[in-house]
Structure 1
Amino acid sequence: MTEPVVVGVDGSPSSLDAVEAAAREAALRGTGLRLVHAFAWPSIPAPPGGLPWNPAMAGVRELVDGTLIEAEQRARQVEPLVEITREVTFGAPLMVLEIESRTASLVVVGSRGLSAFGSLLLGSTAVHLAAHGRCPLLVVRGRPNPTGPVLLAVDGSPAGEGAVEFAFTEASMRGAGLLAVHVWNTRSERAYEEPGDPLNIVVDIERLHEDERRLLDETLTPWEKRRPQVAVERRLVRSRIRPALIEASRDAQLVVAGARGRGGFTGLLLGSVSQALLHHAHCPVTVIRGNE
């Protein structure tokens, strides 16, 4: 059995949705599912003469056990044959899951947990793991189209090669098509469409278009040969990158993107495109970090 799929559980509706998605991913991979619940010690000191805080005395153990039992029931409803283990540990959830990611094939979290403010679109744990996790991260959000394709955001960067491999593998396991979208533009994510725009005089738009098409072909062709069972649709779009990918996610069952594309600053762990997808995509998003 390969490394397990790890899912963060806090009892929120978002995390229970993540449990169901994680169970499906574990079944696809033929591996186990690991339910992880983490909570920090309270920061309030015990009163003078009082007993130190004990989770069993505080009734926390019963609460945690109930949360994990519910999570396991949800997982078994989706995939009754998946082997499930539980882990309860003290510590900040983002740090605990980062450690778990070192021995996981995939970490799955909801887009918002119990500690997130109602106005936040994405929890801090998901953002942290996308930037610092040691394995692919799946953030469950939106309403996926179960018959839609796996959407791959192609950027042509060396760091994005892992995303390409993951997307082809995921599409193959799901029996889904792969929609590979490469969005290009001329400057600062602006799309110039008027023939009289000064930039069209300075820049050879046709040559740029062909260069971007070549990049898309060179990225996909090797993997099409390795995964001939995956039906691939190539889409070259001249537009603003983030809105175009978010719009394309409406009909997808999963989006796959590298953590940082070719336009990111050196040392930046999470790029603006992957952040935008994590916050605004219409379906679950998997972020793949490149090799260190």
Structure 2
Amino acid sequence: MTITPVVTVGIDGSDSARAALDWAMAYARAHGTSLRLVNGLEVPEPSPAYVPYPLGDVRDAVEKEARQALETALARVHAAAPDIEVTTSVVAHPPVPALLEASKHSALLVVGCHGWGEFASLFLGSVSASVTAHASCSVVVVRGSGAVRTAAPVVVGVHGGGGEDATLETAFDEAARRRVPLVAVSAWSDVTLENAAGTIVGAWPTWDRLRTEAGNRLETTLGPWRAKYPTVHVGTVVARDRPAAALLDQAVEAQLLVVGSHGRGGFPGMRLGSVPRRLVHHASCPVLVVRHARND
């Protein structure tokens, strides 16, 4: 019996959640997955000084609103993509734990950048930032309308320090499925030139030498993936810039930005590096943060 992979989408009735749903529908069509729409119940804590309504009534109202949001989302899927298998679930937990639990049984988790409070995405403790940092599977944070720029490239961040197979495979696969170019970006302002013993080679190098070393390292990293995906046109950008800034620049013209959950300097058990954290908050296109299972 073949089990269809499940993509879970966080739903709360907001415009941001609708954008996430639209993106997830396009992804489900391309990958042959099913969708699971999840809404967590965010029940306000009662104030000991002022409780205008019985807490039970508040819970009932919150659950009713959650179910209505899911019914609206379900109708949107049925109208736009009737061939996609879809289920819904109201979870009696706040959004973050509800989505984190769902991520344990998902191939991908998709959330909007706002929702559950329109200013939430400005803070690291927001739903999107929290699930990106702690989910058991890869996460897409959909920024913008959710509409796919069909001719735009996929962009991937490459640090060249090893342990990037999952990120690169995801990026190449997405570019191949979408039949668009892939742009691989390496920021060389902080590239360390090391020999086999892990020590700096020679005197402090010039920027030209750093750029050459970074370009060589990038090509070496991409080589096996170019061979595996010969139909994908790959462009490279070697930028004298901080990694997040270089990727944000490329995201302006991209349809998807793919990064690992942590990059150079990451360690086993680390949940989210500074680069993907900044991209999730500021990128102008959807950001796919690839969870490296070997470190979880």
Q: Does 1:239 align with 2:231?
A: no
Mapped partners of 1:265, 1:116: distance in 2: 33
Deviation at 1:230, TM superposition (A): 1.4
What is the match of residue 56 of structure 2?
53
Deviation at 1:245, TM superposition (A): 1.1
Mind listing any 5+ residue stretches in structure 1 that lack a counterpart? 189-200
Q: Which segment drifts farther, 7-16 or 58-67?
A: 58-67
Asked whether the equivalents of residues 116 and 123 of structure 1 are also in contact (C-alpha less than 8 Å), the reply is no
Within the candidate set 70, 83, 86, 2:85 is matched to 83
Do the aligned partners of residues 2 and 227 (structure 1) sit closer, same or farther apart at CA in structure 2, a change above 3 Å counting? farther
Within the candidate set 145, 164, 168, 1:164 is matched to 168
Do the aligned partners of residues 93 and 61 (structure 1) sit closer, same or farther apart at CA in structure 2, a change above 3 Å counting? closer
Mapped partners of 1:93, 1:138: distance in 2: 16
What is the match of residue 254 of structure 1?
256
Asked whether the equivalents of residues 113 and 123 of structure 1 are also in contact (C-alpha less than 8 Å), the reply is no
Give CA-to-partner distance per residue, 1:185-214, whole Å, 9 cap, x none. 1489xxxxxxxxxxxx84243432232122
C-alpha RMSD over aligned residues:
2.8
Asked whether the equivalents of residues 33 and 84 of structure 1 are also in contact (C-alpha less than 8 Å), the reply is yes
What is the match of residue 284 of structure 1?
286
When the two structures are aligned, how many residues end up with a matched partner?
A: 278
Q: TM-score, normalised by structure 1?
A: 0.85
Mapped partners of 2:125, 2:13: distance in 1: 14
Give CA-to-partner distance per residue, 1:71-111, whole Å, 9 cap, x none. 12222343231111011111121111111111111100000
Mapped partners of 1:247, 1:142: distance in 2: 16
Mapped partners of 2:208, 2:13: distance in 1: 53
Q: Does 1:96 align with 2:89?
A: no
Q: Does 1:18 align with 2:20?
A: yes
Do the aligned partners of residues 239 and 51 (structure 1) sit closer, same or farther apart at CA in structure 2, a change above 3 Å counting? closer
Within the candidate set 26, 29, 50, 1:27 is matched to 29
Mapped partners of 2:125, 2:24: distance in 1: 18
Q: TM-score, normalised by structure 2?
A: 0.84
Asked whether the equivalents of residues 124 and 130 of structure 2 are also in contact (C-alpha less than 8 Å), the reply is no
Asked whether the equivalents of residues 150 and 178 of structure 2 are also in contact (C-alpha less than 8 Å), the reply is no
Within the candidate set 120, 125, 138, 2:140 is matched to 138
Mind listing any 5+ residue stretches in structure 2 that lack a counterpart? 193-202
Which letter does structure 2 place at the counterpart of 1:183? A
Deviation at 1:51, TM superposition (A): 7.7
Percent of residue pairs identical:
36
Query: Alignment partner of 1:103: what SS?
Result: coil
Within the candidate set 181, 184, 190, 2:185 is matched to 181
